[in-house]
Amino acid sequence: MPRQPLLPSRPAAIIFDFDGVILDSAEIKAEAFAEIYSGYGQQWREPILSYQRLHGGISRREKFDHFDKQIVGSAPTEERLALLSKRFSEIVFEKILAAPFIPGARELLEKATGRSRLFVVSGTPQQELVEVIRQRALDHYFELVIGAPTKKREAFARMLHMGLSRETVVAVGDSITECSAACELGIAFLGIRGGPSPTAFPEGIVTLPDLRDASNLLGFRSLPPS
């Protein structure tokens, strides 16, 4: 039986997370954190992967701060944060440029373009996020792209001040971070539960394993690409 649409009508705007929602790149980043801390022992690998999968929506600087406190035993200096962030980018950037789309993502973007305002909000640093989207030739889909250091709730609230009513907006993400931000602001949320360790979203959150059924759920059923 087809799912009922998430909203009474097609959303005026859709706010997408990026890694794990548009590109199948969330595990690339999880593995990069594990690689960076591999010198501290393999006992940290699973805790690192679990933390990254649960908190995918926060900035990598916040994650490095957490990991250093837990693994190294001290808070990182600004210099160390910069070095860790640089190494992380060197590990993941080319891999993300080659990452496949989440199933259904391209179809949803094609159908929603011109019918809904589309945005990206990600924990990836702003400049890197914009460059990845540009090199993947996705920039024409999105009205605005917001990365770190802007936090998810702040970015969502900013979009609500762009002539949008919260009742007409849907956020799509794969982590608790963006789910919490959307729920706090009264924005409908669609959770994506893909990858080897899907997020356990709160009861009542509508979820999909990927975006193949999202066109129907968001009211774009049977519409041709715009």
Q: How confident is the model at residue 2 (pLDDT cuts 50, 70, 90)?
A: very low
- Residue by residue, DSSP assigns 54-77 as HTTTS-HHHHHHHHIIIIISSPPP
Q: Where are the beta strands (DSSP E) in the chain?
A: 13-16, 117-125, 144-148, 169-173, 188-192, 206-208
- Can you give the pLDDT at residue 4? 62
pLDDT the model gives residue 1? 37
CA dihedral (41, 43, 48, 54) in degrees, to 10, reads 180
What residues contact 14, with CB distance under 8 A and at least 6 apart?
112, 116, 117, 118, 119, 169, 170, 171, 172, 218
First to last CA, the chain: 26
Q: Give the rounded percent of residues in the chain with a pLDDT score beyond 70.
A: 96
The span from the CA of 199 to the CA of 4, in Å, is 22
- Using the predicted structure, report yes or no on whether residue 196 has a pLDDT greater than 90: no
Residue 171 tokens, joined: 């956020």
Residue 53 pLDDT grade (very low, low, confident, very high; cuts 50, 70, 90): confident
pLDDT of residue 202: 92
pLDDT of residue 174: 93
Whole-number average pLDDT of the chain: 93
Please give the pLDDT value at position 199: 84
Residue 226 has pLDDT above 90, yes or no: no
Order the strands of the 144-148 sheet from edge to edge.
144-148, 117-125, 13-16, 169-173, 188-192, 206-208
Backbone phi, psi, residue 36, to 5°: -60, -35
| Cβ atoms < 10 Å from Cβ of 75 | 12
- The model's pLDDT over 121-158, given as tens digits with 9 standing for 90+, comes to 999 999 999 999 999 999 999 999 999 999 999 999 99
* Burial (Cβ within 10 Å: 0-12, 13-18, ≥19) of residue 25: buried
Average pLDDT over residues 8-25: 95
Q: Percent of the chain at pLDDT above 90?
A: 85
**Phi, psi at residue 173, to the nearest 5°?**
-155, 170
Highest mean pLDDT out of 1-15, 190-204, 212-226: 190-204
Torsions phi, psi for 15 (to 5 deg): -105, 115
What DSSP designation does 39 have? G
